Amino acid sequence: MLLARFCLGAAAALTAAVLMPSAAPALTLAEGHLVGLGLGQNATPPGVLEDVDVLFSPGTANDPRAVVLFEGLDWTPASAGTERIAESGDPGFDGVVRLLTNGEDDSFWVALPNIVISPNFPYGVSVGSPESLLFGLTGGPDLAGFKVESVALRLDDIVEDPANPGSLLLDLSVTVTGVPEPGTAWLLATGLAALAARRHGRA
């Protein structure tokens, strides 16, 4: 009986969110951490990374279908703790959202420009991770069925790599916020309502 009441209440809340999307607050849909990413750039002073691009791609960083989310970042040890947030209207945001919600296990990349200018290979050094591994997703390869409202990138730490002179070690956090798409929320609400009705009928 208590479970039935809970399911009915949850279904009612979700139904209200579907009918009034503006009342549904953004939730943290996924959060990932990358620790000890090694990047080297011998052309710049020690302890400095210049022109760093952060992107999502169906393949490698040099895949022509890659979408840059943050472009031309300059990072030094003093940059630790800084955060950048991309939202609707920002360059690259819509393209990244499509990759985050297309049902495929695309990849997150941090990349440095190629020293030798090449239109086919804009990046010389890149490190990254598949979405499913970055975010530890278990319900699917990505965030299909959700409406992404923002993507935040935080540089948690940046230190020189003692084992590789001229290289830096990065700790990064990536946080995605949003809400379920109306269709997804409606299916969940009706499923909870059906479960509640079944439990109520047995009581």
SS3 content of the chain, % helix, strand, coil (to 5): 30, 40, 30
Q: What per-residue confidence (pLDDT) applies to 12? A: 44
Query: Above 70 in pLDDT, residue 93?
Result: yes
List 180's β-bridge partners, or say none.
146
Q: What per-residue confidence (pLDDT) applies to 142? A: 95
Residue at token pair 């400095």 = 48
Neighbours of 7 (CB within 10 A): 21
Taking residues 167-180, report their average pLDDT: 94
How far apart are alpha carbons 26 and 110 in whole angstroms?
26
CB 110 within 8 A of CB 54: yes
Query: Above 60 in pLDDT, residue 4?
Result: no
Taking residues 10-27, report their average pLDDT: 53
Q: What per-residue confidence (pLDDT) applies to 166? A: 73
117 vs 26 pLDDT, higher one: 26
144 vs 4 pLDDT, higher one: 144
Average pLDDT, the chain: 82
195 vs 111 pLDDT, higher one: 111
Q: Which of 107, 56, 52 lies closest to 75, judged by CA?
A: 52
